Structure 1
């Protein structure tokens, strides 16, 4: 790891983190260096080490933060609860709920080696057969997550499953109003259509909230860890499946490569194949179809990107690609309207 000690890491004081690690993980940890792994699209992620060992540190993004999102204690709690289950997660080592030391709460977890595939070219190098195997395992892990009884792992109070879908429409409408800085074609039409079509919820399960291939760490043996649990809650598991499908549609939108191009890779399953494999593991899907869920997923993703667009316009993002994220928001509202009709 390159020595970034003389650099001012955005949002992280390495001396403070080193002292925290000594107090809470190992008193023999030395001076730390580090660099940003992911900056600003979700929580800030840093790889920190002392020359002998490495850890991952997570904190909320800089600047404008959406309501209820980026809760460090919640994210750490979910991963700790899932540790003894079939769902692979990193080990959480220590949590700082006090915003004093670095200006925001943060937590430290083990460093899990593996690749978070974000681009179809990365999968293309592996070949179609390996790509299909990875995608199939991605679905199988999602099914394993949704098979976990939340109460059995101490997460029964993580969310309120009754009325979950209706609250999701309301929540993301509020998030949109908190993040909107411009007129957005299709936003109000999709919101109204979703509000009119809220179905009866499926059985309540742990919902990741942003499940996709680049939130998995994969090596030659398979999926090593599911990461980025900042939006986890208890609710309708089909919202996870629908968001995964919508991420595949993003790759078809001009400029969507700034988010993901995974679904373009040879061997990657179609949306119908993803849904079919999931249903084979979990049971039949609702007879009313996935239209509402897919429309909601597109609405949610558009709102998240609008929040990123706002943070970028305020100078609070770190990394490349943020200048084009805003151009995807309106097309996603349009995708949501189309999906709601197409899959109902």
Structure 2
């Protein structure tokens, strides 16, 4: 086995032996190539005589508590295998204690499809774009309609108010990633705590990073064949996923941000935010989304904390992509945008 095996922390032959011992149909490992995209858990294509596979690993170095838990990603996708949520087949898991690389990784089915990075969907004709958005809304509604208990995930998250717990978590993660917290982030955190809604009892499996480039479509079709990157998944409030996706569309379009702000969605053949929320709500059979501003501000705060963590890992040399330092420069822009939403 050649190329990037060393980055995983073990000799090529050791990794190849483990793969062939744990995946019955896998044979003749010839290569391991890291995918260029992604800022969190490094992901590789495994080339073998029996076809390609995908390996996803924890990154090297000191990691933040509760971050990079590929074991959870493996568990949730395995649990969703027989549901309406499209996920790749899970094939093998190596936990930290038994991994030949010294850190956990899992192997899954290789999906041959398309990933789109620009929400404008320039690769798709204007008349076909709405179908892709309708499919995203359908898949998100399907995810939130899964009964966690029925798929063995009733213990996948903590009980209680999701937004209160998540605000605490991301405030803690943010502070662990900076020397001095910004005044803007402190103000946003305080606003969230003051505006915190009562727990309405809704509990669903949430993806945590639901966006266009974390799903793979069938080639030439508006059909999702794989929802990917489940690192931030947990049990929580379904509207957190919806608001997170919609918040991203409010970001500028260009540079390091891929949003839809300033774009004429009607002219592009894309739904408005209101139309997308309505399509999701109809698919789930719900009426209304409550305090939408709170959900959007929470999503922005969380995104800022995530990007600051990426930048911190890049500075320490532990990011999957060293260019992650660029994302730290986006945090002040996000802060300004979020503060402008406070009332």
Fold in common (TM above 0.5): yes
Cα offset, 1:172, TM superposition: 0.6
Q: How does 1:118-197 map to 2 (within 5 A)?
A: 118-120=117-119, 123-197=121-195
Q: Please state whether the residue corresponding to 1:10 is helix, strand or coil.
A: helix
CA RMSD for the aligned pairs? 2.2
1:89-108 Cα distance to aligned partner (Å, 9 max, x none): 01000001135411310000
Aligned to 2:102: 103
Cα offset, 1:293, TM superposition: 1.1
List structure 1 runs of 4+ shifted beyond 6 angstroms: none
Choose the corresponding residue for 2:16, options 15, 18, 29. 18
Aligned to 1:311: 313
Q: Could you tell me which runs of 5 or more consecutive residues in structure 2 were left unpaired when the two chains were aligned.
A: none
Q: Does the aligned pair in 2 maintain the 1:9–1:36 contact within 8 Å?
A: no
- Count of residues in correspondence between the two structures: 333
Q: Does the aligned pair in 2 maintain the 1:43–1:58 contact within 8 Å?
A: yes
Aligned to 2:31: 33
Cα offset, 1:200, TM superposition: 2.4
Q: Could you tell me which runs of 5 or more consecutive residues in structure 1 were left unpaired when the two chains were aligned.
A: none
Aligned to 1:294: 296
Aligned to 1:281: 283
Q: Does the aligned pair in 1 maintain the 2:4–2:32 contact within 8 Å?
A: no
Q: Please state whether the residue corresponding to 1:153 is helix, strand or coil.
A: coil
Compute the TM-score of the two structures, normalised by the length of structure 2.
Answer: 0.89
Q: Does the aligned pair in 1 maintain the 2:162–2:236 contact within 8 Å?
A: yes
Q: Is 1:212 equivalent to 2:211 in the alignment?
A: yes
Change beyond 3 A, Cα 1:135–1:257: farther
Choose the corresponding residue for 1:90, options 88, 91, 95. 88
Cα offset, 1:262, TM superposition: 6.6
Q: Please state whether the residue corresponding to 2:39 is helix, strand or coil.
A: coil
For the residues of structure 1 that align with 2:26 and 2:123, how far apart are their CA atoms? 41
For the residues of structure 2 that align with 1:50 and 1:213, how far apart are their CA atoms? 29
Change beyond 3 A, Cα 1:164–1:183: closer
Q: Does the aligned pair in 2 maintain the 1:114–1:217 contact within 8 Å?
A: yes
Q: Does the aligned pair in 2 maintain the 1:60–1:106 contact within 8 Å?
A: yes
Aligned to 1:229: 230
For the residues of structure 1 that align with 2:242 and 2:199, how far apart are their CA atoms? 14
Change beyond 3 A, Cα 1:33–1:207: same
Cα offset, 1:9, TM superposition: 4.8
Cα offset, 1:120, TM superposition: 5.0
Change beyond 3 A, Cα 1:297–1:50: same
Compute the TM-score of the two structures, normalised by the length of structure 1.
Answer: 0.89
